[in-house]
Amino acid sequence: MSITAIQNYLQTQLQGLEGAYGGAPLEAWVDPPTPGTAETPQAYILAGDGEGKRQTMGGLAGYYADTHQVYVYLEWMFPPGAQNANLAFTNLMDTAIKTIRTNYLGAIFITDPATGLQSQLLVIGDKLRYKYLPQRNIGEAGQEWLDYVAQIIFEVQEKEQYS
């Protein structure tokens, strides 16, 4: 199991995404900066719940099958008076969800940068849900920034060979 490798892979998939209605490219983070400080769209990739099981084959060979719940938090702060902020944010959500759901699977091998452990991704995003939180205003009256936040929760399955 390599949660670190999964997070790094997802970071490469989400980094630089752009939705409709303009705006800067999405910045994806595994080690995020302080939330609520960036004026560009942000994605924070966090590990969640998980479970694993060993699949043993003859001759003591086999693999571990792991299922992880991964959380991606999207945030985008717009300056006062921004036009189409809601549309821009929801379209960015749609773009991120589509990217997660449409990853090619079957032959994607990922490597943990710290341990060198290699595993194979089997499924990303077959089970997915999201929460779109109400937009909030941040700042002084008349100069409030518009803060949009969403959470995308999805399943990632991987297997790790052993012998």
pLDDT one-digit tens code per residue, 135-163? 888 888 878 899 999 999 999 988 886 65
Under 8 Å between Cβ of 43 and 149: no
Task: Note the pTM of the prediction, 2 decimals.
Answer: 0.86
Domains within the chain, CATH numbers bracketed: 3-162 (3.30.2000)
Mean pLDDT across the stretch 39-52?
A: 88
Residue 152: strand, helix, or coil: strand
- Is residue 11's pLDDT more than 90? yes
pLDDT one-digit tens code per residue, 54-109? 777 665 677 788 899 999 999 999 988 888 999 999 999 999 999 999 876 667 88
Closest CA to 11 of 86, 72, 97, 87: 72
